Amino acid sequence: MKVTERAAEKITVLEGIANAVMWWIGSIPSLIVHTLLFLTAFMLPIFNLVDFDKMLLVLTTVLSLEAIYLAIFIQMSVNRSSEHIEVLRDDVMEIQEDIEDIQEDIEEISEDIEEISDDIEDIQEDIEDIAEDEDEEAPIERAKNVMLKSHVTTNKTAIKTLRDKIKELEDQIENLKTE
Protein backbone atom coordinates (compact mmCIF):
# COMPACT_ATOMS: atom_id res chain seq x y z
CA MET A 1 0.00 0.00 0.00
CA LYS A 2 2.83 2.40 0.84
CA VAL A 3 4.46 1.75 -2.51
CA THR A 4 1.26 2.84 -4.28
CA GLU A 5 1.05 5.99 -2.18
CA ARG A 6 4.66 6.86 -2.97
CA ALA A 7 4.06 6.27 -6.67
CA ALA A 8 0.98 8.50 -6.55
CA GLU A 9 2.97 11.22 -4.78
CA LYS A 10 5.73 11.00 -7.40
CA ILE A 11 3.19 11.21 -10.22
CA THR A 12 1.58 14.24 -8.56
CA VAL A 13 4.99 15.92 -8.26
CA LEU A 14 5.77 15.11 -11.91
CA GLU A 15 2.39 16.49 -13.01
CA GLY A 16 3.10 19.68 -11.10
CA ILE A 17 6.48 20.02 -12.78
CA ALA A 18 4.98 19.30 -16.20
CA ASN A 19 2.27 21.91 -15.62
CA ALA A 20 4.86 24.49 -14.60
CA VAL A 21 7.00 23.72 -17.65
CA MET A 22 3.98 23.89 -19.99
CA TRP A 23 3.01 27.25 -18.53
CA TRP A 24 6.56 28.59 -18.79
CA ILE A 25 7.09 27.40 -22.38
CA GLY A 26 4.07 29.37 -23.49
CA SER A 27 5.19 32.59 -21.79
CA ILE A 28 7.06 35.74 -22.74
CA PRO A 29 10.04 34.86 -20.50
CA SER A 30 10.46 31.62 -22.49
CA LEU A 31 10.48 33.57 -25.73
CA ILE A 32 13.16 35.89 -24.37
CA VAL A 33 15.32 33.02 -23.05
CA HIS A 34 15.09 31.11 -26.34
CA THR A 35 15.95 34.22 -28.33
CA LEU A 36 18.99 34.90 -26.13
CA LEU A 37 20.14 31.27 -26.39
CA PHE A 38 19.89 31.31 -30.19
CA LEU A 39 21.73 34.62 -30.41
CA THR A 40 24.44 33.31 -28.08
CA ALA A 41 24.76 30.10 -30.11
CA PHE A 42 25.34 32.04 -33.32
CA MET A 43 27.65 34.57 -31.63
CA LEU A 44 30.05 31.88 -30.33
CA PRO A 45 31.44 31.03 -33.81
CA ILE A 46 31.63 34.75 -34.71
CA PHE A 47 33.99 35.35 -31.76
CA ASN A 48 35.89 32.14 -32.60
CA LEU A 49 34.97 30.54 -29.27
CA VAL A 50 33.45 27.43 -30.88
CA ASP A 51 33.67 25.88 -34.31
CA PHE A 52 30.58 26.68 -36.42
CA ASP A 53 29.94 23.01 -37.31
CA LYS A 54 30.08 21.92 -33.67
CA MET A 55 27.73 24.76 -32.68
CA LEU A 56 25.24 23.68 -35.35
CA LEU A 57 25.50 20.05 -34.24
CA VAL A 58 24.82 20.90 -30.59
CA LEU A 59 22.09 23.38 -31.49
CA THR A 60 20.35 20.90 -33.80
CA THR A 61 20.52 18.16 -31.16
CA VAL A 62 19.14 20.44 -28.45
CA LEU A 63 16.35 21.66 -30.74
CA SER A 64 15.41 18.08 -31.65
CA LEU A 65 15.14 17.11 -27.99
CA GLU A 66 13.17 20.24 -27.25
CA ALA A 67 10.78 19.45 -30.12
CA ILE A 68 10.18 15.96 -28.72
CA TYR A 69 9.37 17.33 -25.29
CA LEU A 70 7.17 20.06 -26.76
CA ALA A 71 5.17 17.42 -28.63
CA ILE A 72 4.69 15.50 -25.37
CA PHE A 73 3.62 18.64 -23.52
CA ILE A 74 1.21 19.57 -26.29
CA GLN A 75 -0.37 16.11 -26.16
CA MET A 76 -0.69 16.36 -22.37
CA SER A 77 -2.42 19.70 -22.77
CA VAL A 78 -4.79 18.29 -25.41
CA ASN A 79 -5.64 15.35 -23.14
CA ARG A 80 -6.35 17.68 -20.23
CA SER A 81 -8.50 19.90 -22.43
CA SER A 82 -10.47 16.88 -23.64
CA GLU A 83 -11.18 15.85 -20.05
CA HIS A 84 -12.27 19.40 -19.21
CA ILE A 85 -14.55 19.53 -22.26
CA GLU A 86 -16.13 16.22 -21.24
CA VAL A 87 -16.88 17.58 -17.76
CA LEU A 88 -18.36 20.75 -19.26
CA ARG A 89 -20.51 18.73 -21.65
CA ASP A 90 -21.89 16.71 -18.72
CA ASP A 91 -22.64 19.95 -16.85
CA VAL A 92 -24.43 21.41 -19.87
CA MET A 93 -26.54 18.26 -20.22
CA GLU A 94 -27.53 18.47 -16.54
CA ILE A 95 -28.46 22.13 -16.96
CA GLN A 96 -30.59 21.30 -20.01
CA GLU A 97 -32.40 18.60 -18.04
CA ASP A 98 -32.99 21.07 -15.21
CA ILE A 99 -34.36 23.62 -17.68
CA GLU A 100 -36.74 21.03 -19.11
CA ASP A 101 -37.92 20.13 -15.59
CA ILE A 102 -38.47 23.80 -14.78
CA GLN A 103 -40.39 24.27 -18.01
CA GLU A 104 -42.65 21.32 -17.15
CA ASP A 105 -43.23 22.78 -13.68
CA ILE A 106 -44.12 26.14 -15.17
CA GLU A 107 -46.57 24.51 -17.57
CA GLU A 108 -48.22 22.70 -14.64
CA ILE A 109 -48.43 25.95 -12.68
CA SER A 110 -49.92 27.66 -15.71
CA GLU A 111 -52.59 24.94 -15.96
CA ASP A 112 -53.34 25.29 -12.24
CA ILE A 113 -53.71 29.05 -12.66
CA GLU A 114 -56.11 28.50 -15.54
CA GLU A 115 -58.22 26.21 -13.34
CA ILE A 116 -58.17 28.75 -10.52
CA SER A 117 -59.13 31.48 -12.96
CA ASP A 118 -62.08 29.40 -14.17
CA ASP A 119 -63.14 28.80 -10.56
CA ILE A 120 -62.96 32.52 -9.82
CA GLU A 121 -65.07 33.29 -12.87
CA ASP A 122 -67.65 30.77 -11.65
CA ILE A 123 -67.62 32.39 -8.22
CA GLN A 124 -68.02 35.81 -9.80
CA GLU A 125 -71.03 34.59 -11.77
CA ASP A 126 -72.51 33.23 -8.54
CA ILE A 127 -71.89 36.60 -6.88
CA GLU A 128 -73.58 38.39 -9.75
CA ASP A 129 -76.58 36.07 -9.40
CA ILE A 130 -76.66 36.83 -5.70
CA ALA A 131 -76.36 40.54 -6.44
CA GLU A 132 -79.47 40.38 -8.59
CA ASP A 133 -81.33 38.93 -5.66
CA GLU A 134 -79.74 41.50 -3.35
CA ASP A 135 -82.71 43.82 -3.31
CA GLU A 136 -84.47 41.47 -0.93
CA GLU A 137 -81.47 40.77 1.32
CA ALA A 138 -80.41 42.45 4.52
CA PRO A 139 -77.52 44.96 4.63
CA ILE A 140 -75.19 42.35 6.20
CA GLU A 141 -75.65 40.04 3.23
CA ARG A 142 -74.94 42.94 0.87
CA ALA A 143 -71.69 43.69 2.75
CA LYS A 144 -70.66 40.03 2.45
CA ASN A 145 -71.32 40.15 -1.28
CA VAL A 146 -69.28 43.32 -1.67
CA MET A 147 -66.42 41.68 0.22
CA LEU A 148 -66.67 38.59 -2.00
CA LYS A 149 -66.53 40.78 -5.11
CA SER A 150 -63.48 42.54 -3.68
CA HIS A 151 -61.71 39.21 -3.07
CA VAL A 152 -62.55 38.03 -6.58
CA THR A 153 -61.09 41.20 -8.05
CA THR A 154 -57.98 40.84 -5.90
CA ASN A 155 -57.61 37.20 -6.94
CA LYS A 156 -57.98 38.13 -10.61
CA THR A 157 -55.21 40.69 -10.20
CA ALA A 158 -53.01 38.12 -8.47
CA ILE A 159 -53.67 35.61 -11.24
CA LYS A 160 -52.77 38.18 -13.89
CA THR A 161 -49.54 38.88 -12.03
CA LEU A 162 -48.80 35.14 -11.87
CA ARG A 163 -49.47 34.78 -15.59
CA ASP A 164 -47.07 37.64 -16.30
CA LYS A 165 -44.41 36.01 -14.12
CA ILE A 166 -44.93 32.67 -15.87
CA LYS A 167 -44.55 34.38 -19.24
CA GLU A 168 -41.29 35.96 -18.02
CA LEU A 169 -40.03 32.56 -16.82
CA GLU A 170 -40.95 30.94 -20.12
CA ASP A 171 -39.07 33.68 -21.98
CA GLN A 172 -36.03 33.19 -19.74
CA ILE A 173 -36.15 29.43 -20.35
CA GLU A 174 -36.23 30.02 -24.11
CA ASN A 175 -33.24 32.35 -23.77
CA LEU A 176 -31.36 29.72 -21.75
CA LYS A 177 -32.14 27.09 -24.38
CA THR A 178 -30.72 29.28 -27.15
CA GLU A 179 -27.56 29.99 -25.13
CA angle, 139 then 141 then 147, to 5°: 105
Domain chopping of the chain, boundaries? 85-178
Which is higher by pLDDT, 173 or 88? 88
Categorize the per-residue pLDDT at 152 as very low, low, confident or very high, splitting at 50, 70 and 90: low
Does residue 47 carry a pLDDT above 60? Answer: yes
Kindly state the average pLDDT of the residues 32-43.
94
Does residue 134 carry a pLDDT above 70? Answer: no
Q: What is the pTM of this model?
A: 0.52
- DSSP H or E stretch at residue 130: helix 52-132
Cite the DSSP H helix spans in 2-51.
Answer: 2-25, 28-46
Nearest to 113 by CA among 169, 153, 156: 156
Question: What long-range pairs does 160-168 form, CB within 8 A, spacing at least 24?
Answer: 162/109, 162/113, 163/110, 163/113, 166/106, 166/109, 166/110, 166/113
- DSSP H or E stretch at residue 92: helix 52-132
Does residue 138 carry a pLDDT above 70? Answer: no
Does residue 141 carry a pLDDT above 80? Answer: no
Nearest to 159 by CA among 167, 73, 105: 167
